[in-house]
A and B are shown apart, each in its own frame.
Chain A
Amino acid sequence: MTRDSEHRLPRRTPLTWVRSGGLSTLLFLLPLLFVFGAFSWYPIVRTVVMSVQHTNLVQPATWVGLKNFKAVVHDPLFPIAVKNTAYFAGLALLFGYPIPLIGAVLMSEVRKRRGIYSALAYLPVVIPPVVAVLLWKTFYDASSTGVFNTILGWVHISPQPWLQSQGTAMPSLVLESTWANAGGTVIIYLAALTSVNTELYEAAAVDGAGILRKIWHITLPQLRGVLLVTMILQIIGTAQVFLEPYLFTSGGPANSTLTVLLLIYNYAFGNSLGGDYGKATALSLMLAVFLALFSWIYLRATRSWSTE
């Protein structure tokens, strides 16, 4: 329609570009280009460069090849951090994966004032994470007058060391993290549950299926796609856990809660004499590549199952 003018004027000069709105388009794009260019795209490229450099911000950077990666892999703390992170992610899945699902299914069948349920479930998510961790740190007070130990005392269970023992520190962290994050998953499940076609339930009822069989044969299969996505998102999220080990235990006792992100932080910012940015970027790159590979394999492996 209005493209006729372009046929008559095939030559594109800067002037025609400005007149056709090219300049104003670019003006509108400027904030995005500047912010993403400077604070997203550029640092992503810089990570790759810095991981093969030795930088301390004082002397000019020198190229060191794969030395940073080798140093990370040979760091005795590296396998500990990887093991702890996997342990955290595994426990978080164990605590935080089935409970929101069961809760959401029950909530979706509430007939009156369903909003109260979802609001209560979501409330911990809006609490600032620092407050949540420091509050739970008070609860975990290991003395016999600590909050949790007092409650345990009511049922005659002896005081637990919580954060102060290697065995119970990590589960304590996961417990708080589950409290703080489960609400988000509940809301996703609730949305997915309302999108299940009611005719499927009616058809199943005609075939004589009871409530549990309807959940098993219709609800869960219909939720398959969402369940798979929330699982991988949770794994990606928990693999980057930082705040809990940083504020609860600083990685202790005896490195039992040292996670990969805490190790990255310690490499870069833990030493007051100057950070080892090469090692930090090398490890963060390794984590990112691992997560990308893991997600790719996960999505390939579950593809037939999720779209069946």
Chain B
Amino acid sequence: MSSVDESPARIISQAEWSKPSVRYGVRSLQLLLLFGLVVFGLGPILWLAKSAITPTNDTITHPVALFPHGFAWSNLHEAWSNVDVARYFWNTIYIAFGSWLTQLVVATTGGYVLSVLRPKYARFIKGLLLATLFVPAIVLLVPLYVEIVRLPIVHHSLINSYWAVWLPAGASAFNVILVTRFFDNLPREIFEAARVDGAGPFMLFWKIVLPMSKPILGVVSVFAVLASWKDFLWPLLVLANPNIQPLSVRLPSIQSQTELGVFLAAMFIACLVPIFGFLVFQRSFLRGPGLGGAVKG
């Protein structure tokens, strides 16, 4: 796709590649791989897209057939309006937006302190941040839930408030460390020059550091929105009111009362934003620090 991808192949030398047996052998293996990727990787998603616009009866009786009795575009419309997918869709967007904002605020301000301002206690804070990377998420689940049910000090419940999702989302040490590392590589001379010109810490942050950090902010944003879109267990626990739940939480609950075709259409709608985002921001996923997706959550 991009020019970066066309770097010369490595294991197989030019001399070996010029042998027909090697060339055709490797090519057919790669074609087999492509076939496997299309059938097993893409196949389920294509099936979902197909079934989203197929009448329920056809999907039940002939699941693999291609539109034996025509289309049912009404599935999409029915899912969007009658099963309230529209509402859950906007809930999901709203939740993702807030989680994105808190993650960005915490990661940039925190990274700014740890990398640029560097007070004496920065090392200590960094240590505490790194430590959280080694604590499995499950350890937080129950105490965090109990905390949300009854906040210490203020004794107020955040259940059914979007803050219960937004605020904990900000506590991502991975983000802070990623942004800190990026800030570390920005040229110090520019900061010094700005200070000499009389820029205070706020000016330096807003006018110099942030504008120079667009690439990393893009990567953090893409992963923040995707992670929020994929989240299930935490919003299930803290957003008890069905009217405010995101799509991923609602889908399992609406399954039993929804016709299969309409339900598959709802699932298809839930995939559109992540797939579209992936196609647009492919480079962030495939070239950036895509390690976030590798750690199964």
Contact = CB atoms under 8 A, between A and B. Distances in A.
Q: Which of A131, A233, A243 has the most CB of B within 10 A?
A: A131
Contacts of B152: 42
Interface residues of A, number: 111
A146 B16 CA distance: 47
Contacts of A36: 106, 128-129, 132, 171, 173
A240 B142 contact: no
Nearest to B15: A205
Contact of A288 (B40, B138, B176, B233): B138
Interface in B206-238: 226, 229-230, 232-233, 237
Interface residues of B, number: 105
Nearest to B176: A32
Nearest to B297: A237
A187 B267 CA distance: 26
A304 interface: no
Interface string A119-150: 11111111111111011101101000111001
B89 to A, nearest CB: 12
Interface residues of B, dominant DSSP:
helix
A64 B5 CA distance: 59
Contacts of B186: none
A97 interface: no
A201 B233 contact: no
Interface string B140-163: 111111110110100000000000
B11 A201 contact: yes
Q: Which of A127, A205, A287 has the most CB of B within 10 A?
A: A127
Interface in B109-134: 109-110, 112-113, 117, 119, 125, 128-129, 132, 134
Nearest to B250: A130
Interface string A253-284: 00000000100110011000001010011001
Interface residues of A, dominant DSSP:
helix
B136 A287 contact: yes
A57 interface: yes
A46 B33 CA distance: 49
B189 to A, nearest CB: 14
Interface in B176-222: 176, 200-202, 205
B66 interface: no
A126 B228 CA distance: 11
B116 to A, nearest CB: 9
Given A184-B294, A187-B294, A29 B144 contact: no
Contacts of A247: 252
Given A135-B44, A205-B13, A35 B171 contact: yes
A155 to B, nearest CB: 13
Interface stretch (A3-11, A70-78, A110-118, A163-171): A110-118
Contacts of B45: 123-124, 127
Nearest to A151: B64
Contacts of A151: 64
Nearest to B107: A32
Given A57-B150, A214-B11, A31 B232 contact: no
A24 interface: yes
A158 B240 CA distance: 43
A236 interface: yes
A25 interface: yes
Contacts of B230: 128-130
A181 interface: yes
B19 to A, nearest CB: 10
B40 A126 contact: no
Interface of A: 21-22, 24-25, 28-33, 35-36, 38-44, 46-47, 50, 55, 57, 103, 105-132, 134-136, 138-139, 141, 145-147, 150-151, 177, 179, 181, 183-185, 187-188, 193-194, 196, 198, 201-202, 205, 210-211, 214-215, 218-219, 230, 233-234, 236-238, 240-243, 247, 261, 264-265, 268-269, 275, 277, 280-281, 284-285, 287-288, 291-292
Given A108-B11, A131-B248, 8 more contacts: A29-B109, A31-B170, A36-B128, A39-B171, A44-B143, A106-B29, A109-B10, A135-B44
A-B pairs with lowest CB-CB distance, top 5 = A115-B1, A237-B296, A32-B110, A184-B294, A46-B143
